[in-house]
Amino acid sequence: MSLFDKYAPLQKRIDVMNKIGRDALGVQFDDIIDATRGRIGNREILLAGTNNYLGLTFDADCMAAAKQAVDDHGTGTTGSRVANGSYREHVDLEVALADHLGMPSCIVFTTGYQTNLAAISGLAGDKDVIFMDADAHACIIDGTRLTNASTIRFRHNSPEDLDKRLRRQGKIEGGHALVVIEGMYSMFGDIAPIDEFIDVTHRHGGYLYIDEAHSYGVFGPTGCGIAEEQGVLDKVDFISGTFSKSLASVGGFCASRHREFDVTRKVMRPYMFTASATPANICAARVAVDKIKAGGHLRDNLKARAQQLHKGLSDLGYDLCAEPSPVIAARRPNEAICAMEWNWLLDNGLYVNLAVPPGTPQSSSLLRISLSAAHSEADVNEIIAKFAELKGLEGQLMEDMMGKLAG
């Protein structure tokens, strides 16, 4: 017996993927040309799966800030935030994010994934109960696993089901309810009715925690996310987000309308025991905050491109998972067909995400597109044209796939 025998079923899936074509979960780009173009070998690729929602990774001011930070402070901090890893720039970014969100407290983390690990495990004590959306991201699930709190899942995007489960739970002796949802869900691109969740959560005396990783910068008059879009930002207890989407960097944050949140710095293990974010990442994100606040034109273009693509793919007959948003995902019959189609798209100059179980809701196999404000109308027309051509080749691609698997 080998230590790795337990991964035999996974290896079989990988073998099938490799027979069909490339390893879709390990694509190597030889160059990133700009926010919408990359290169694999000698071939230029249209990027439609990067989560670069506002296209700021090549913004001149963000790049200049990152370069200046390296000149000023070097390449890394070599310490955690509770040791030597807190620089003036880390604190300045926390203040800027708190000010943007209109909240008195904000903590910056080294990655977005780590943000939810740290904040959820820091907030939920042994006697508390976490109520979590059924489609919650892996980092939310893993954050709950770092606690001794009980965890209850409720039906996806259903305030009614949450209400039922909170009523069933009743009074929590010595503890509180922490409800965790997302603003825009990363796989399907569907939006949470945050206003309704606030009503249910607060009626039962609970606290509402929203992961706005994919919606911060994208929604709301000033880019604060779905809560701002729905006019309830001031009622949310905790908002987490990442720098690796709209903020065009690497890192994460959690802000709160409760000043007491700052004390959790002393108990959040993923915050205390990891090196702080590099000066370059922090300074790029700091400039991006200002770009987001003034980025109404970027959000307008992103919304227009989402509506354009959603209509184009719908007209072609693709089964789309949600209403128009920056994430547009097409359901495919199964994982093998999805991988075959993904390979064809990449071979023909278009990169999208192959999304398969267990990382997808409802065991779905998806061709997932994430749009950018940097995409033009012509770019989206090109995406639609590629999917139209793909649609016409379904029979031929099925035959090709069966031949490769048989071989």
pLDDT in tens, 171-194: 999 999 999 999 999 999 999 999
CATH of 59-293, one of 3.40.640.10, 3.30.1280.10, 2.130.10.10, 3.40.50.300: 3.40.640.10
How remote is the C-alpha of 85 from its chain's centroid? 26
Over pLDDT 90: what percentage of the chain? 94
Whole-structure pTM value: 0.95
| Residue showing tokens 């709209």 | 246
Q: Are 351 and 47 in contact (CB under 8 A)?
A: yes
Number of Cβ within 10 Å of residue 352's Cβ equals 26
Phi, psi values for residue 109, rounded to 5°: -125, 170
Q: Are 133 and 157 in contact (CB under 8 A)?
A: yes
DSSP 148-162: -SEEEEE-TT-HHHH
- What is the mean pLDDT for each group of 10 consecutive residues in the chain (407 residues)? 94 92 91 97 97 98 98 97 97 98 98 98 97 97 96 98 97 96 97 98 98 98 98 98 98 98 97 97 98 97 98 98 98 94 97 94 95 98 98 86 82
Whole-number pLDDT of residue 1: 87
What's the one-letter identity of residue 140?
A: I
Number of Cβ within 10 Å of residue 363's Cβ equals 10
Dihedral of alpha carbons 327, 331, 334, 340, sign: negative
DSSP 161-187: HHHHHHHHH---TT--EEEEEESB-TT
Whole-number pLDDT of residue 264: 97
Spatial separation of the C-alpha atoms in residues 299 and 26, rounded to whole Å:
30
Whole-number pLDDT of residue 366: 97
Domain ranges of the chain: 5-54+296-406, 59-293
Spatial separation of the C-alpha atoms in residues 178 and 169, rounded to whole Å:
13
| Residue showing tokens 């069909």 | 20
Whole-number pLDDT of residue 127: 96
Span 5-54+296-406 CATH architecture: Alpha-Beta Complex (3.90)
